[in-house]
Amino acid sequence: MDEAKIGRLVRELLLELGEDPDREGLAKTPQRVARALAHLTRGYSQNPEGVVGGAVFEAGGANHMVVVRDIDVYSLCEHHLMPFFGHCHVGYIPRGKVLGVSKIARLADCFAARLQIQERLTGQIARAVRDATDAEGVGVVMECEHLCMQMRGVEKQNSRMATSAVLGSFHDDPATRAEFFSLVSGTGRQHG
């Protein structure tokens, strides 16, 4: 990404909005926006295989459901370039190979740091976990708030969107799917 070019375009945008891009508060805004966009879209320079690296581990007889809840997710809506954010919950049933737990969050970040729609993002994360682990099944649930809906358009500030992607046994077996959704919703938690 050419940050200098993005900065020039942001300056032009400020002029079109009727602003003075040379005033004190805006003088460095074009460069700041260019750096922010580079960070927020860093996922384009990442691939799932590189993110996972060597963090797939043999786990012998590991074949029970693994769930990571409440992974913070931040992305930009591809329709309005406005943020959406929330939580991602990922579950999978390994076939003897497990993924380093931090890599699950890094996979979510890899795809979230691109211009996105939540529906596609949910499926991309599920497929990446499946591909990395050869899991028997994978489930992903995302719950996000979309500023393009809260700040403009219908202006519904308390709305959230939920999406899910279920692959393999999470798709084919109703009991497996129900266990996953129970764990994700918190109703399946054990308290000591």
Confidence (pTM): 0.91
Q: Are residues 31 and 63 in the same domain?
A: no
Domain harbouring 163, CATH code = 3.30.1130.10
Is residue 95 located within the same domain as residue 13?
Answer: no
- Collapsing DSSP to helix, strand or coil, 65 comes out as coil
Write down the pLDDT at residue 155: 80
Q: Give the pLDDT confidence score for residue 59 in this predicted structure.
A: 83
DSSP 33: H
128 and 171 housed in the same domain: yes
pLDDT of amino acid 189: 54
Eight-class DSSP state of 32:
H
What pLDDT, on the 0 to 100 scale, is given for residue 159? 87
47 lies in some domain: no
- How far is the CA of 68 from the CAs of 31, 65, 103, 144, 184, in angstroms? 37, 10, 11, 17, 8
Q: Digits of tens for pLDDT over the chain (192 positions)?
A: 899 999 999 999 999 999 999 999 999 999 999 999 999 999 999 999 999 998 988 887 777 999 999 999 999 999 999 999 999 999 999 998 899 999 999 999 999 999 999 999 999 999 999 999 999 999 999 999 999 988 888 888 888 999 999 999 999 999 999 999 999 997 655 544
Does one domain contain both 91 and 157?
Answer: yes
Total structural domains within the chain: 2
**H-state helical runs in the chain:** 3-16, 29-40, 48-52, 101-112, 118-133, 147-150, 169-172, 174-185
Residues 120 and 25 in one domain: no
28 and 87 part of one domain: no
DSSP-assigned letter for residue 156: -
Residues 114 and 143 in one domain: yes
- Domain ranges, residue 167: 54-185
pLDDT of residue 168: 97
